[in-house]
Amino acid sequence: MILTDYNLELKNKKTLQFIEDVTSNADEVQKKVLEEILSRNAHVEYLQTRGLNGHTDRETFKKTMPVITYEDIQPHIDRIANGDTSPILSSNAISEFLTSSGTSGGERKMMPTIEEELGRRSLLYSLLMPVMSQFVPGLDKGKGMYFLFIKSEAKTPSGLVARPVLTSYYKSTHFKDRPYDPYTNYTSPNETILCPDSYQSMYSQMLCGLCQHKEVLRVGAVFASGFIRAIKFLEKHWRFLCNDIRTGTIDSQINDQSVREAVTKILKPDPKLADFIEAECSKDSWQGIITRLWPNTKYVDVIVTGTMSQYIPTLDYYTNGLPLVCTMYASSECYFGVNLNPLCKPSEVSYTLIPTMAYFEFLPVQRNNGVNSSISVPKTLNEKEQQELVDLVDVKLGQEYELVVTTYSGLYRYRVGDVLRVAGFKNNAPQFNFICRKNVVLCIDSDKTDEVELQNAVKNAVNHLLPFDATLAEYTSYADTTTIPGHYVLYWELSLNGTTPIPPSVFEDCCLTIEESLNSVYRQGRVCDKSIGPLEIKIVEPGTFDKLMDYAISLGASINQYKTPRCVKFAPIVELLNSRAVSSFFSPKCPKWFPGHKQWINMN
């Protein structure tokens, strides 16, 4: 025991020292990372055709290589997906594609990755608990109840697997065969996490979490939305779960053999525990249910930065205000950084980018003043703008930047699409507040809907109104997270010229057409994960949008420049819209969704 403690302490110390070292030498590390990436990939087609000529220094790299978006490299990615194995982007073999929740043309973006990136991701994970243990001692004395899930995967025409980065990680030996470590000791057995059926996966993880309730010291999920979904699941299914705990048998709906076997090792008949859970869950109020059922929980580990901040009040309610801890910032392109002050308030969270993960550059972002204080980032960069990118150690406190990465897997000066603000420094490495994802207007779970997608979807839907001589005068939208799961609400103001009343089924068709027109991540959330509820259209009284404009102007918007916002968040505006709603319609069924890109269907 003493030996274990000693080892853990030593391991934590080493990890914290690593963070000290790489943040103190941030610039040197960044220089080395770029040299390493460019020298090993000197002969790849993408760098050669642009004339980098084997140079590995920052100056030549910046002068020669363009700053790009996904669409710029999509033809290369399509070639890899279609079976071209020549070194196009990376000299290493592409091991799989990571499908991002960011989309292009309605489909998930596909990030090529190489085997060794798994090691880099594991390294970032390994930093989290040593950091946390500085603030919350004793976390090695119990377990973490984390609701973790895999998503479906597809194969590209060439046979490469395409799946989300977390699915890739959980299925890797880095996760599955991790050696015993008190910090990765979870209540969910691997089999329950790796179960492809999301109901069985959730049910079995909840059951194991309840059985081990006294051992649980921390709870979490990746995003806040996922954790709230788990609470909702418990609300719906606690009677079955209690029955299983009372009798020591597993509900017959759980028919995945490996899940049953794994749960059997944990589940023992425990009528007292079943009585306790039943008593708590039958109470009228579910306020503080997390601390009631898992009384030793010290914090909730979920991302509540960015759009996820909309879930903070709900989490506070269910957890009786336990600390909400955002530990890391990552993406399919690359894992970026960690929060070195994890007990800070959600509004103050900043992530320290770890300089070994990739070569980072920063494109300054201007904020337009005004009511919307919209963020302006040019879509394609001219020569001058390309020169404005700064290195990691050169960012300025308080300034906002768009993140640009050059990764070990073959992305060069790639715009991730996130806007960050410099909040401070850890040694020489900057710490960033996550501000937003560019252009995203609506988000409930991992879906990211931008204004153009919304506009197209609405355009398709209004065709249903043509036979009634009705047109859409104005519209806006709102991500309603007061329902669980949350759902998109569209506020429509109509111009009615015809005399035939519009039947409700027509508006329901409009809802479904919008859903069918939205991107694949939205539709997957509706169909597979049930993490997004049916889309709603609220018809508002004529003149509502004039009132909205009056309101914006009363807050200081300029009359000349006023444009109807295509998404609203500000509570008084949502209230104004709701108070003028005359009817409401929901999508009657789920939209269609298939794993993989639509163009691959019939190709596999």
Edge-first strand order for the sheet with 414-426 is 328-330, 335-338, 351-353, 429-437, 414-426, 400-406, 359-364, 390-391
Only one of the segments 31-39, 255-263, 301-309, 423-431 lies at the binding site for ligand AMP (rule: CB under 6 A); that segment is 301-309
Only one of the segments 171-179, 248-256, 289-297, 298-306 lies at the binding site for ligand AMP (rule: CB under 6 A); that segment is 298-306
- In the shown chain, the binding pattern of residues 398 to 417 toward ligand AMP, with x for contact by CB under 6 A and - for none, equals ------------------x-
What residues have CB less than 8 Å from 393, skipping those under 6 apart? 26, 27, 30, 428, 429, 430
Backbone φ and ψ of 408, nearest 5°: -70, -20
- In the shown chain, the binding pattern of residues 102 to 141 toward ligand AMP, with x for contact by CB under 6 A and - for none, equals x---------------------------------------
Number of Cα atoms under 13 Å in the Cβ half of residue 484 = 16
- In the shown chain, the binding pattern of residues 150 to 169 toward ligand AMP, with x for contact by CB under 6 A and - for none, equals ---------------x----
In this complex, which beta carbon is closest to ligand AMP, that of residue 227 or of residue 545? 227
Q: How far apart are CA 429 and CA 439, in angstroms?
A: 27
In this complex, which beta carbon is closest to ligand AMP, that of residue 305 or of residue 314? 305
Compute the C-alpha angle 61/62/66, nearest 5°. 100
Q: Least distance (Å) from ligand AMP to the CB of residue 102? A: 6
Written as six digits, the tokens of 548 are 């909205």
Q: How far apart are CA 408 and CA 386, in angstroms?
A: 21
In this complex, which beta carbon is closest to ligand AMP, that of residue 101 or of residue 200? 101
- In the shown chain, the binding pattern of residues 310 to 349 toward ligand AMP, with x for contact by CB under 6 A and - for none, equals ----------------x--xxxx-----------------
Count residues binding ligand AMP (CB under 6 A): 17
Binder of ligand AMP out of 87, 142, 226, 306 (CB under 6 A): 306
In this complex, which beta carbon is closest to ligand AMP, that of residue 206 or of residue 300? 300
Other CB atoms closer than 10 Å to residue 338's CB: what's the count?
Answer: 24
In this complex, which beta carbon is closest to ligand AMP, that of residue 175 or of residue 203? 175
Ramachandran bin of 420, using left for φ above 0, alpha for ψ from -120 to 50, beta for the remaining angles? beta
Which helix (H) or strand (E) element contains residue 350? none
In this complex, which beta carbon is closest to ligand AMP, that of residue 329 or of residue 362? 329
Binder of ligand AMP out of 12, 23, 30, 100 (CB under 6 A): 100
Q: Least distance (Å) from ligand AMP to the CB of residue 446? A: 6
Q: How far apart are CA 529 and CA 263, in angstroms?
A: 22
What does the buried/exposed string (b/e) look like for 164-183 if buried means 16 or more CB atoms within 10 Å of the residue's CB?
bbbbbbbbbebbeeeeeebb
Tell me how long the chain is: 604
Other CB atoms closer than 10 Å to residue 445's CB: what's the count?
Answer: 26
For residues 464-523, which are near ligand AMP according to CB under 6 A? none
With binding defined as CB under 6 A, does residue 305 bind ligand AMP?
yes
Q: Least distance (Å) from ligand AMP to the CB of residue 489? A: 23
Q: Which residues pair with 419 in a beta bridge?
A: 402, 436
- In the shown chain, the binding pattern of residues 253 to 292 toward ligand AMP, with x for contact by CB under 6 A and - for none, equals ----------------------------------------
The DSSP code for 186 is: B
* 130 prior amide bond cis, ω within 30: no
For residues 15-44, which are near ligand AMP according to CB under 6 A? none
With binding defined as CB under 6 A, does residue 225 bind ligand AMP?
no
In this complex, which beta carbon is closest to ligand AMP, that of residue 124 or of residue 245? 124
With binding defined as CB under 6 A, does residue 148 bind ligand AMP?
no
Dmax over Cα atoms in the chain, in whole Å? 83
Binder of ligand AMP out of 79, 151, 232, 437 (CB under 6 A): 437
In this complex, which beta carbon is closest to ligand AMP, that of residue 418 or of residue 536? 418
Q: Least distance (Å) from ligand AMP to the CB of residue 417? A: 6
Ramachandran bin of 174, using left for φ above 0, alpha for ψ from -120 to 50, beta for the remaining angles? alpha
Residues that bind ligand AMP (CB under 6 A): 100-102, 165, 303, 305-306, 326, 329-332, 416, 418, 434, 437, 446
